[in-house]
Structure formats: C-alpha cells, structure tokens
Amino acid sequence: MKQQITAFLRILLPFTIGLAILHYLILHFVLHLDLYYNIWLIYLFHALITFGIYLALVFVHESFKEKTGFAFMAGSLFKMLLSVLFLLPLMLSDFEKPLNDIFSFFIPYFLYLILETLFAVKLINSK
C-alpha cells in the first residue's frame, strides 16, 4: 500500500509543480491575463483532490478488490461536484472574462483526470 502511494506521489508532485509553473508563465508572460482564481490555488485543489481519490482507491483496492472500479467512478463524480462548488463563486460573480478562468480550471482538470485514470487502471490490473 505504501509503495503504491509513494509511486503515485513521485509522479503527482513533479506533475503538479511543472504544470503549475508552465501555466503561470504562459498566463502572465505570454497571454498577460488576470484570473479570478490564483493559478496556485487551482493546482492545489486539483492535486489534493487527485491524491485523496487515489488514496481512497488504494484503500478500497486493499479491502474490496472487485469494487475498485466503482470507487473510481464515485471519486470522479465527487471530484465533479467539488469542482462545481469551487467554481461557484466565479459563476455568481460579475467577473468580466470567466471563460479564461474556466479554461484555466478545466484543462488541468482533464490532465489530472488522465493521471488518475492511468493509475487507477494500473491499480485495478495489479494482483
């Protein structure tokens, strides 16, 4: 169990730091955009949710191997709900260009979802 979590963190942390820095540099030095949410907050949200879901998947896999896929689907649904709650202040505000924020949130969302999916499949296929 510890090995799986450590292996995941070895990928998640550099993935998060690299993407966040790249995203920050593109937004501030290439596109010159100001967002409603801080980039670091968006990546912290994604990293914590992704780690929490993977932690839950490892726990479910250790206890009920045949239910790991269902736990992944439940985790994805939970992540969607938390994403809506995270973006709710933006949707309710009078911010001028919410589309930039939405793209800045959902592009990393899908990248983290791909990472989660790869590790979930690896976990499900492990013996």
Residue 45 CB partners (closer than 8 Å, separation 6+): 82, 86
Query: What is the reported pTM?
Result: 0.92
- pLDDT: which is higher, 127 or 41: 41
pLDDT of residue 73: 97
Residue indicated by tokens 């690896």 = 122
* Distance of alpha carbon 16 from the chain centroid: 9
d(CA 31, CA 119): 33
pLDDT, average across residues 69-91 = 96
Instruction: Quote the pLDDT of residue 34.
Output: 84
Instruction: Tell me the average pLDDT across 65-88.
Output: 96
Quote the domain boundaries for residue 28: 2-125
Instruction: Tell me how long the chain is.
Output: 127
Least confident range from 66-80, 88-102, 106-120: namely 88-102
- What is the percentage of the chain residues whose pLDDT exceeds 70? 99
Q: What is the dihedral of CA 28, 110, 76, 61, to 10 degrees?
A: -110
Q: What percent of the chain has pLDDT over 90?
A: 83
Count of domains forming the chain: 1
Q: What is the mean pLDDT of residues 42-62?
A: 97
Q: What is the pLDDT of residue 127?
A: 67
Check whether 11 has a pLDDT greater than 70: yes
Q: Tell me the C-alpha distance between 104 and 88, whole Å.
A: 15
